Each structure stands twice: as structure tokens, then as C-alpha cells.
Amino acid sequence: MDFRNFTTFQWILAACVAAMVLLVIGVLFLTFRRMYLLKKGKYNQKKAFSILRRYASVRNFKVLQNVTVEINGRSAHIDLMLVGFFGILFFEVEDFEGEYYGNLKDETWAYVSKDLRKTRIPNAVVKLERDIDVIRTIFAANDVYKVQMEPMVLLSPFKKRTEIYLSESIPYLRVNELRKHLDKVKYDKDNNVDVPRVVSLIEQYRKN
């Protein structure tokens, strides 16, 4: 084919076809990537991390991911942390689809997988409160006080594939609700938190 003989219309048509092919490839890539992450139980955390990173980047906040710390023989693992002038928002990510049942003070919650297998899983809020207590111990050992800390459970954004039957007192969000939640005034409040200092302390006691 001699491309030198192409008319303007033919070039435009060829460009449109090429653009459509690239678009289809892009959509297929994103679809298969999402399916892969869902299957591996990584989608929610990656999505949340992306949202938090964009939010933090324009506010001089800091996002930490998969943090394991230890002090005095006590350890904590936090999936995601948003450190800002308001304080710290701690996230426990429930990454698998299915059904979740539980109350705020239960030691465990019931989880029913997509293939209808029922298991007990740790109460994510109770776990977060214990993790927060470890972080408070680290801060107290370094004379850092009055840092507001808030737990939050993150669940799948796909309502048809993940049904939530948790009590209303439980602080939880679907991942797609996170950005709107961060628009609350309390996260814009300056509570005199020294973000670099707080992050430095966490990194100092970090084990991973």
C-alpha cells in the first residue's frame, strides 16, 4: 500500500481507526488489571492509596502504606495511614468481595465469601484501636502528644459483589466514598500536627 497516495480523508479515517484500537486495548487492559487485583485481594488498597496520594500531594500531607511498627514487644500493622495537620487517619482495608456482618464491639465479624464459605474474621475496628494504641505509645515515648487519631474501615466499592451488614456505629466506607469523605471540614483543620516529625517517628519504629 502506497501511503503517499492517501487522501486527507483516508488519513483522518486511519487515525480514527488507530485511536479506536488503542482505546479498546486500554479498556481491556484496565478491565483485566482490575479483575486481577480483585482476585488477588489488592484492588481496594491500591485504589484507596491512589485517592489518598492525590489528596495528600496538594496539602503537604503524607500517606504511608503497609506499615508495621514495634515498641516494647508490641507490634501493629496498618494498611494505610493519612498523616496531616488535622491528625492521623488509619485505614484497615477489607479487600475481598462477599458479605460482612458485625457490630462495633464484637471481637470478630462474620464473612461470607462469593462461594458461600462462612468464616470469622477479626473486627477491623478493634484491630485498628489496638494499632492506634501502639502508635500512641511510640509518640508518648518521644514526647509527642495531642495527635488526633481516627480509625476507618474500607470496603469494596462494588455493591452488587460486596454486601455490608455492619452496624451503623462502625466507621466504614466503600472505597469510592473516600474522596467525598475527605472533603469534611475536620480534615482541613490545623491541629498543629508536625507532619514530618510524626512521619519520622513512625519510620524510626518501622520494621518493614
What pLDDT was estimated at residue 21? 66
What pLDDT was estimated at residue 159? 85
What pLDDT was estimated at residue 14? 64
Mean pLDDT, to the nearest integer, of 111-116?
Answer: 91
DSSP letters along 161-179, please? TEEEEE-TTS-EEEGGGHH
Nearest-Å Rg of the Cα atoms of the chain is: 22
Report whether pLDDT(104) > 60. yes
Report whether pLDDT(30) > 50. no
What pLDDT was estimated at residue 155? 95
- Rounded to an integer, what distance in angstroms lies between the CA atom of residue 12 and that of residue 34? 33
- Rounded to an integer, what distance in angstroms lies between the CA atom of residue 86 and that of residue 193? 7
Mean pLDDT, to the nearest integer, of 52-56?
Answer: 98
The architecture that CATH gives domain 41-204 is 3-Layer(aba) Sandwich (3.40)
What pLDDT was estimated at residue 130? 97
CA distances from 196 to 13, 32, 178 (A): 54, 38, 24
Report whether pLDDT(202) > 60. yes
pTM (predicted TM-score): 0.80
Q: pLDDT grade, residue 25 (50/70/90)? A: low
What pLDDT was estimated at residue 1? 53
What pLDDT was estimated at residue 10? 64
Report whether pLDDT(152) > 70. yes
Report whether pLDDT(20) > 80. no
Q: pLDDT grade, residue 4 (50/70/90)? A: low
Sort strands 87-93 and 149-155 into parallel, antiparallel or unpaired: parallel
- Rounded to an integer, what distance in angstroms lies between the CA atom of residue 136 and that of residue 91? 16
Mean pLDDT, to the nearest integer, of 29-52?
Answer: 69
pLDDT tens-place string over residues 131-141: 999 999 999 99
How many CB atoms are located within 10 Å of the residue 65 CB? 16
What pLDDT was estimated at residue 158? 87
CA dihedral of 100, 103, 107, 110, whole degrees rounded to 10: -20
What pLDDT was estimated at residue 176? 95
Q: Which of 29, 165, 30 is nearest to 94 (CA)?
A: 165
- Rounded to an integer, what distance in angstroms lies between the CA atom of residue 174 and that of residue 156? 5
- For 146, half-sphere exposure in the C-beta direction (CA atoms, 13 angstrom radius) is 6
**First-to-last CA distance in the chain?**
58
What pLDDT was estimated at residue 207? 92
Report whether pLDDT(53) > 90. yes
> Percent of the chain scored above 70 by pLDDT?
82
